[in-house]
């Protein structure tokens, strides 16, 4: 009798346990939740990796849209200025025509200074960040489309991909991908400040970090390539050669040519430390042009061998503009603008009306040179000054010219300026 009672109790206990487990899982299914220990994808959040972590894995959990089994194609958007210096050559050459007598059309006020020029998508929208730790998207009429709060300053010009995703570096060491609607898709912690502006080649986005490395990251936010210099890579935003190699300078006084897999093709040793502050630019024949602190403009052959160098009145920290015909337009920090032919012959020099040109220059499709300091200066390609716009506040970023002929520049006063024909 006791054996039968024990047996019945055991059967009842098993049935009750099975019923309880079934009920719990049914409740989870109805509520859309998952049992503890499983990820709730809708609740995933992004956070930067703490300082000191050296793992090569992405610091956050990726958003559901980014977690796919295959790597999406990563190409650059076809627009007038989808990245720093317009194109992978860092030429500064725009498809837009500069207006003859531009005036200020509108201003957009941010909460802090703007240190780097904006990028433009194929609809004319403007993308930029500043030291208010906010990333902005503004439409061509100066109206805010969206803004995204970040954890630190933005000291980098974004690159815009073919599907409208914006990738930008941040001073907290994170490379950040933002959707066309302003949502953060992923972050990857690069261990130090990012003041290098990214470029895209070989299905990877490449950017330098002040940890001394050049990183290649895919569309999912995963590092696929890494090159380590002997010292910090600074604002020497990489240029891309015709065969897909990356040209970037470091504070170890070397300019490097690096394959997308991170191996070195060649390196050029400068004369002193902190040489490669000026981002390199590539001419139509593949030569590489850059300025140095020892007051020189240097040109290397595509093999890395010295082609020519010419003296400047002062050092330059801004990149040269490269014309379609290979002519080089460079401005030193003292405001002396010059034109140089592909063989290093100085064609002309002229002095800007203001002493300090820190914003750099860009070139228009109608043969105009637009450069900035605290004013916007417009020259023709013979060196004749055509226009000065002086009613601007603060030091300006280098100007960006849109396909519709509008000129954009950020300012240390926190304004984004738009100039054009009224």
The CATH number of the domain holding residue 118 is: 2.130.10.10
In a domain, 32, yes or no: no
- C-alpha 141/C-alpha 146 separation (Å) is 14
Taking CB atoms within 8 Å and a gap of at least 24, the contacts of 98-101 are 98/364, 98/366, 98/368, 98/370, 98/378, 98/401, 98/405, 98/407, 99/405, 99/407, 99/419, 99/420, 99/421, 100/386, 100/387, 100/421, 101/387, 101/421
pLDDT computed for residue 27 by the predictor: 40
Tell me: pLDDT of 354 over 90.
Answer: no
Q: Report angle CA 210, 180, 203 to the nearest 5 degrees.
A: 55
In a domain, 11, yes or no: no
In a domain, 23, yes or no: no
Q: Say if residues 392 and 374 touch (Cβ distance below 8 Å).
A: yes
* SS (HEC) of 58-125: CCCCCCCCCCCCCCCCCCECCCCCCCCCCCCCCCCECCCCCCCCCEEEEEEECCCCCCCCCEECCCCC
In a domain, 350, yes or no: yes
Total structural domains within the chain: 1
Tell me: pLDDT of 32 over 50.
Answer: no
Distances in Å between the Cα of 221 and the Cα atoms of 31, 40, 43, 274 are 31, 20, 19, 30
Q: Say if residues 409 and 371 touch (Cβ distance below 8 Å).
A: no
pLDDT computed for residue 273 by the predictor: 61
| Beta strand segments in 296-366, E | 296-300, 306-311, 321-322, 328-331, 336-340, 346-351, 360-363
pLDDT computed for residue 274 by the predictor: 57
DSSP letters, 28-41, are: HHHHT---TTS--G
**Which residue range forms the structural domain that includes residue 396?**
72-420
Residue 49's closest CA among 207, 174, 218, 176?
A: 174
pLDDT computed for residue 314 by the predictor: 77
347 vs 311: which has the higher pLDDT: 347
Residue 163 corresponds to which tokens in the numbers above? 């599907």
At 54, is the secondary structure helix, strand, or coil? coil
At 47, is the secondary structure helix, strand, or coil? coil
- C-alpha 377/C-alpha 361 separation (Å) is 9
pLDDT computed for residue 352 by the predictor: 87
In a domain, 404, yes or no: yes
- Percent residues over pLDDT 70 in the chain: 82
Work out the mean pLDDT of the chain and round it to a whole number.
84
Using pLDDT thresholds of 50, 70 and 90, give the confidence band for residue 272. low
19 vs 351: which has the higher pLDDT: 351
Helix, strand counts (H, E) of the chain:
1, 32
- Among the residue ranges 18-32, 156-170, 184-198, 304-318, the one predicted with the least confidence is 18-32
- pTM value is 0.82
pLDDT computed for residue 286 by the predictor: 97
227 vs 250: which has the higher pLDDT: 227
- C-alpha 153/C-alpha 133 separation (Å) is 4
pLDDT computed for residue 4 by the predictor: 44
Tell me: pLDDT of 418 over 90.
Answer: yes
In a domain, 136, yes or no: yes
Tell me: pLDDT of 67 over 60.
Answer: no
pLDDT mean over 261-272: 89
Q: pLDDT by residue (tens digit) across 105-149? A: 999 999 999 999 999 999 999 999 999 999 999 999 999 999 999
- Among the residue ranges 133-147, 156-170, 357-371, the one predicted with the least confidence is 357-371
Using pLDDT thresholds of 50, 70 and 90, give the confidence band for residue 56. very low
- C-alpha 198/C-alpha 365 separation (Å) is 24
In a domain, 270, yes or no: yes
- C-alpha 408/C-alpha 98 separation (Å) is 12
Residue 99 corresponds to which tokens in the numbers above? 């207006």
Tell me: pLDDT of 23 over 50.
Answer: no
Residue 147 corresponds to which tokens in the numbers above? 């803004």
- C-alpha 78/C-alpha 99 separation (Å) is 22
28 vs 365: which has the higher pLDDT: 365
10 vs 94: which has the higher pLDDT: 94
- C-alpha 233/C-alpha 198 separation (Å) is 13
| Beta strand segments in 229-305, E | 239-240, 246-249, 254-258, 264-269, 281-282, 288-292, 296-300
In a domain, 48, yes or no: no
At 271, is the secondary structure helix, strand, or coil? coil
- C-alpha 217/C-alpha 207 separation (Å) is 9
């Amino acid at each position: 009798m006791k054996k039968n009672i024990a047996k019945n109790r055991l059967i009842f206990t098993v049935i009750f346990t099975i019923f309880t487990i079934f009920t719990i899982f049914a409740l989870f299914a109805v509520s859309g939740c998952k049992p503890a220990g499983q990820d709730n994808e809708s609740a995933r959040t992004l956070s930067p990796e703490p300082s000191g972590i050296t793992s090569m894995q992405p610091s956050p959990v990726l958003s559901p849209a980014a977690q796919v089994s295959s790597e999406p194609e990563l190409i650059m958007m076809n627009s007038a200025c989808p990245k720093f210096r317009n194109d992978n050559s860092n030429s500064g050459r725009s498809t837009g025509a500069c207006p003859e007598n531009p005036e200020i059309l509108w201003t957009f006020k941010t909460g802090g200074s703007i240190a780097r020029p904006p990028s433009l998508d194929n609809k004319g929208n403007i993308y930029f960040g500043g030291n208010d730790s906010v990333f902005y998207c503004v439409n061509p009429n100066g109206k805010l489309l969206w803004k995204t709060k970040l954890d630190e300053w933005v000291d980098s010009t974004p690159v815009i991909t073919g599907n409208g995703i914006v990738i930008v570096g941040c001073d907290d060491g994170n490379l950040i991908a933002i959707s066309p609607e302003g949502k953060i898709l992923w972050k990857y912690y690069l261990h130090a400040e990012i003041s290098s502006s990214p470029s895209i080649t070989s299905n990877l986005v490449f950017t330098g970090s002040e940890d001394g490395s050049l990183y290649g990251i895919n569309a999912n936010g995963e590092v696929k390539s890494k090159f380590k210099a002997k010292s910090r890579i600074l604002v020497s935003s990489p240029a891309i050669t015709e065969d897909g190699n990356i040209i970037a300078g470091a504070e170890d006084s070397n300019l490097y040519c690096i394959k997308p897999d991170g191996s070195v093709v060649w390196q050029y040793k400068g004369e002193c430390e902190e040489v490669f502050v000026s981002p390199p630019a590539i001419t139509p024949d593949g030569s590489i042009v850059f300025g140095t602190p020892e007051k020189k403009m240097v040109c290397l052959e595509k093999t890395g061998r010295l082609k020519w160098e010419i003296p400047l009145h002062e050092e330059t920290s801004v990149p040269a503009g490269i014309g379609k015909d290979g002519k080089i337009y460079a401005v030193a920090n003292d405001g002396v603008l010059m034109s140089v032919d592909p063989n290093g012959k100085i064609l002309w020099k002229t002095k800007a009306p203001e002493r300090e040109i820190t914003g750099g220059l860009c070139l228009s499709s109608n043969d105009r040179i637009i450069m900035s300091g605290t004013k916007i200066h417009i020259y023709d390609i013979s060196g004749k000054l055509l226009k000065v716009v002086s009613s601007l506040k603060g030091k300006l970023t280098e100007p960006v010219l849109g396909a519709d002929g509008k000129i954009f520049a950020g300012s240390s006063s926190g304004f984004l300026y738009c100039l054009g024909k009224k």
